[in-house]
Chain A
Amino acid sequence: MRKTGAEIVIECLKKEGVRHIFGYPGGVVLGIFDLLYDNKEIQLILTRHEQGAVHAADGYARSTGKPGVVLVTSGPGATNTVTGIATAYMDSIPIVVFTGQVPTKLIGNDAFQEADIVGITRPCTKHNYLVKDVKDLARVIREAFYIATTGRPGPVLIDLPKDVLADSCTPHCPEKIHLKGYNPKYEGNKWMIKQAAKAISKAKRAVILAGGGVIHSEASKELRELAELTQIPVVMTLMGLGAFSGSHPLSLGMPGMHGSYYANMAIQESDLLICIGARFDDRVTGRLSDFAPHAKVIHIDIDPTSINKNVYAHIPIVGDAKRVLRVLIEEVKEEGPHKWDAIRKAWLRQIEKWRKERPLTYEYSDEVIKPQFVVEKIYELTRGEAIISTEVGQNQMWTAQFYKFEKPRTLLSSGGLGTMGYGFPAAIGAQVAHPDKIVIDIAGDGSFQMNIQELATCVTYKLPVKVAILNNMYLGMVRQWQELFYSERYSYSYLDVVPDFVRVAEAYGAVGLRATRPSEVEPVLKEALKVKDLPVVMDFVVDWKEKVYPMVPAGASLSEMIFGDEEKKKGKKKLRAVK
């Protein structure tokens, strides 16, 4: 039976099991929108900005593991998706973005609302397509979903010229995909895994560094089994938080620039670093030449380019984390019964010492709300089981430090690209996928304003997303760097005019709440959690002087952390000197 291009798109989406699309209409994609008008199986969530649509699809994907789908028009509709696509690309998130394009005959003519989106997104997609013939459409869509979700996941874009959507053919969609140049490797090399097992048996001071790859490959169970079996402590990158229970005695939280002292010390003093699904980002490693100087490195990753890129891997294993870990656990068991408790005793005792020496902490105040206190309260009230999204900056780091993520896919945060304005639309995507779960965006006053328009989306679809703004009137992380490294010259980091967020929320038809004193934090949160069919914006007026500690200055080694209390002492000295 002959079908138009637009019909083929809808049919293929159904075949892929797509229930929700995030999008925004426009001239050249009206053919598809017309079909969605009375479609019962696929719901389009109309955002208020295309960037919001892509982040929402990204949040949908991160919270479910299924690909998020975006549909936007040509030209500005397409270019507005770029930040969202780059965000998903850096964090390896499977999304499929459909963009409209001017008719094939007009391509290259500077037509109205024409943009070379395939060219623009080439460096920030895993792959992209311009469909020039309706006969290719079904196959391309199948390939796009396959590429987005297999191997190291990532965004794929399909550009759809208007005439291709209007043309018709008898669609042929192959069941099996065969791409000559794309064969992700899932099984790790047996011999290498054996070497890894041997290294684990020999090591005295081993640490596991778990990244987002553990979450992508659903390997949390295996990770826990390996860690518990061999009594190896686990540190998690920002993308890896939730891969291993944050309240587990073997969890050391996040390492890196704002990581815990004990996580960084454990890496620096380790003799074996087992990196699983992480890519040694500069925010994790600090100065590379001084990173984990005594450690032998086992690196498990599905993407060969991650291996040996920043840190030399003594034992490289290309493969899927879940499958490799399964084999590794068996190999470790085969290495012979070890008295793991005895082997690790001294190491774990040392780590406990570090933990006691410098715990993650802040100075509580009765007078003014400390941002960390808000995060702690959110953790307490949700028992670590809510889906939390963050914006970027201090709010993100405090969340990573003080919210102990219990389960994978419960933290949505732009790790690689560091996109302000990500958290709120991502929370929308997660709430669409999980209507009954508590979804909270821990935001800053700066970031929230970058996609604040999506309040309308939440109200339209009765999505009870909670936004907790840690409002300090500043671009807090910028301010922190300026205070520490730019002689307290606060160049353009003070947000002179910050709107009354309570009234903004109310103007959109959402609920607005505010807390200005520590005693009000819990009542406000409790009230927000009661709201079931509307978004809630909570404006927490926090101590603007608060900084994120510990901190490894950019370019320094992980061992060169600075701490809040030390800074304070130095500050006093400085004051005295002035007197």
Chain B
Amino acid sequence: MRHTISLLVENKFGVLARISNLFSARGYNIESLSVGETIDPNVSIMTIVTSGDDKIIEQITKQLNRLVDVIKVVDLTEYDHVEREMILIKVAPKPQDRAEVLRLTEIFRGKVVDSSPRTYTIEITGDEKKIAAFVELMRSFNIKEFVRTGKIAIAREGIR
């Protein structure tokens, strides 16, 4: 099963390497990972999406907790939480489809962040399903390139 794990870590060099090392050394898989500073500049927050049975997830969270630079580990999957991901997608639709692309972008509450005579670059935020649905729709409009941020997630209520 897929799990979204949120980590508070010391904002130091080498921390990301320690964490990715742990995953690779023990044969766990990282599906997505995002890192950023928190309000406290000494602390970063990481959101890692990984998958495995309960036993593996238990080991992953325990092993992460064991790292000296990891301050807190929360498996958000156990809690009610909000997840968001952002993608930038560049499409080059046929001239007659350009309006349709704009319409779909609007339906998905996306934004066109750049346009050229042949392309649109569209920004979409949302949960995984929404993003997957949008990417699916864009397939017929000649996708040139697309990048995604990886998931960030936050619990709905304060978690102890």
Contact = CB atoms under 8 A, between A and B. Distances in A.
B66 A303 contact: yes
A118 B21 CA distance: 12
Interface in B1-59: 9-10, 14, 17-18, 21-22, 25, 55, 58-59
B107 interface: no
B23 to A, nearest CB: 11
Nearest to A152: B66
B67 A181 contact: yes
A126 interface: yes
B14 A130 contact: yes
B70 interface: yes
A126 B62 contact: no
Contacts of A179: 68
Given A180-B71, A181-B67, A303-B66, A122 B58 contact: no
A147 B66 CA distance: 12
Contacts of B66: 303-305
Given A181-B9, A308-B58, A122 B65 contact: no
A309 interface: yes
A119 B63 contact: no
B10 A180 contact: yes
Interface residues of A, number: 17
A515 B59 CA distance: 51
B75 interface: no
Nearest to B73: A181
A202 B65 CA distance: 35
A182 interface: yes
B85 interface: no
B136 to A, nearest CB: 40
A451 to B, nearest CB: 27
B55 A308 contact: yes
Given A118-B14, A122-B18, A123-B21, A181 B59 contact: no
A123 B25 contact: yes
B63 A305 contact: yes
A122 B68 contact: no
Interface string A307-327: 011000000000000000000
A344 interface: no
A181 B70 contact: yes
B127 interface: no
B21 A305 contact: no
Nearest to B55: A308
Interface in A103-141: 118-119, 122-123, 126-127, 130
B71 A181 contact: yes
Interface in A75-117: none
A205 B62 CA distance: 32
Nearest to B69: A181
A452 B23 CA distance: 38
A321 to B, nearest CB: 18
Contacts of B63: 305
Interface of A: 118-119, 122-123, 126-127, 130, 147, 179-182, 303-305, 308-309
24 contacts: A119-B17, A122-B17, A122-B18, A122-B21, A123-B21, A123-B22, A123-B25, A127-B68, A127-B69, A147-B68, A180-B10, A180-B71, A181-B9, A181-B68, A181-B70, A181-B71, A181-B72, A182-B68, A303-B66, A304-B65, A305-B59, A305-B62, A308-B58, A308-B59
Interface of B: 9-10, 14, 17-18, 21-22, 25, 55, 58-59, 62-63, 65-72
List the 4 shortest-distance A-B pairs measured between CB atoms, nearest first: A305-B62, A181-B71, A127-B68, A180-B71
